[in-house]
Structure 1
Amino acid sequence: MTRATAILAVILLAAMVGVSAWLAFFRSTESVLAACGGAQVAGGIGAIGGPFELVNASGETVTDRDVFTKPSLVYFGYTFCPDVCPLDNARNAAAVDILLEQGYDVQPVFISIDPERDTPEVVGEYASYMHPRMIGLTGSPEQVKAASQAYKTYYRKHEGDDEFYLVDHSTFTYLVLPGHGVVDFFRRDENEEEVARRTACYIEAAERLGN
């Protein structure tokens, strides 16, 4: 065996060991988080979420890294929504209060899909009314669309000149953990106790993984 061949063999062996270690870590992480019994989605929960740029209640442009500094319950809706959004956000707020009583620091996040009416000031007032910890976000139509696409949400404005138009939209709440991204989502029929239970489970699992 020539010296060059030996060096190549060592490099290949190191690469194989590195890949094996990475796969073992990844599978271990998946296993620990999966034990919380979260929702299933085609392509895996990791297919949901991603970077975004939006505008907060102070009119500042923020990114996902600025927002998700702690475990977060994220909901896409709009402030003029007559029934669904208030109920879903109230459920999330109640789950946050349950978690706070248990010692878990979780923030609710509301992302508007109606940038035409939902200015930073409007979103800020709505968020603070729903919960003092809630972060309200809006943005340009392009920014909102990009965030919605990243989280695989749906929305469609009813056409017409009426200022009281409605917007059809999906109603999932996403659990985002720093360092892990979206790890679960909650449907409308899941109550605050279930949201709090699974959220606490994921937080504990992430702590065991060192994140």
Structure 2
Amino acid sequence: MPRRSILLFAGACIAIAVALAIITVVVVSGRTPTSNGAEITSTGQPLVGGDFQLVNQDGQPVDQTMMNGKWSLVFFGFTYCPEFCPTTLAEMAVVQQRLGEKAKDLQIVFVSVDPQRDTPQALKDYLSSDGFPKGTIGLTGTPEQVATAAKAYRAFYEKVGEGEAYTMNHSLTVYLMGPDGKFRTAVAYGMGPDKTTKIIEDAIARG
């Protein structure tokens, strides 16, 4: 992908991350019908997070209950990512160190948007790289399962190119989820370890 396109894409993703941090469901009187006739009650909470069924890097099935009781940083990417994913994971490793004892209550979750190549073993090998956060949980699944998880987290991704040389465009937002499995805030790409650590510490302090 041309460098100009990458920069434009990264800029758009940062804007999305900022919006996610502040956008909530518009509160209206009554209920809003959906296209299939169901009804939605506005909650005033961001529509981020929800049900999913995937497998971890050990091949074990997991679902959204893995978020229960832990603070979670959820990030969508892929192991063939040339820059953004390794950069984000390396930054998360620094954040993990700076959090010290607080890090024991925080899990980092890397969800692959490239299930065609990212098998559980591929994720396990990738996440064991030096400089990445210790204990990062890698998740993958069928294309349909990945699509469901990405939809729940409002994460964008698309395949670009054909053959073995294809790549994946994807959003760069890291989602901070609370121990109740609900969205707390978003961390934009390139924010840096200092700001990211403070955001997480402030969120944990608020509960």
TM interval, shorter chain, is 0.7 to 0.9
1:119 aligns with 2:119: yes
CA distance in 2, matches of 1:180, 1:172: 17
Report Cα offsets for 1:33-77 as digits up to 9, x if no partner.
xxxxx9312536531111111100111110111244411111000
CA distance in 2, matches of 1:199, 1:156: 29
CA distance in 2, matches of 1:122, 1:48: 27
CA distance in 1, matches of 2:66, 2:102: 25
- 1:178-189 matched pairs, under 5 angstroms: 178-189=179-190
TM (normalized to structure 1)? Answer: 0.74
TM (normalized to structure 2)? Answer: 0.75
1:191 aligns with 2:204: no
Query: Is the CA contact 1:45–1:184 (under 8 Å) kept in the aligned structure 2?
Result: no
Considering only aligned residues, what root-mean-square deviation do their CA atoms show, in Å? 1.8
- 1:125-164 matched pairs, under 5 angstroms: 125-129=125-129, 130-161=132-163, 163-164=164-165
CA distance in 1, matches of 2:45, 2:166: 33
**What percentage of aligned pairs have identical amino acids?**
36
CA distance in 2, matches of 1:124, 1:107: 16
CA distance in 2, matches of 1:67, 1:120: 19
Query: Is the CA contact 1:99–1:105 (under 8 Å) kept in the aligned structure 2?
Result: no
Structure 1 residue aligned with 2:108: 108
Q: Which has the higher helix share?
A: 1
Q: Who wins on radius of gyration, i.e. which is larger?
A: 1
Structure 1 residue aligned with 2:79: 79
Instruction: Number of aligned residue pairs: give it.
Output: 168
CA distance in 2, matches of 1:103, 1:173: 16
Query: Is the CA contact 1:54–1:144 (under 8 Å) kept in the aligned structure 2?
Result: yes
Query: Is the CA contact 1:46–1:181 (under 8 Å) kept in the aligned structure 2?
Result: no
Structure 1 residue aligned with 2:23: 41
My pick for the range that moved more, 167-176 or 39-48, is 39-48
Structure 1 residue aligned with 2:167: 166
CA distance in 2, matches of 1:142, 1:134: 23
CA positional deviation for 1:93: 1.9
Structure 2 residue aligned with 1:54: 54
Q: 1:71 is matched by which residue type in structure 2?
A: W
Query: Structure 1 residues 188, 196: CA separation in 2 closer, same or farther (over 3 Å shift)?
Result: same
Structure 2 residue aligned with 1:9: none
Query: Is the CA contact 1:74–1:174 (under 8 Å) kept in the aligned structure 2?
Result: yes
Structure 2 residue aligned with 1:202: 203
My pick for the range that moved more, 177-186 or 101-110, is 101-110
4+ runs deviating over 6 angstroms: none
Query: Structure 1 residues 41, 177: CA separation in 2 closer, same or farther (over 3 Å shift)?
Result: same
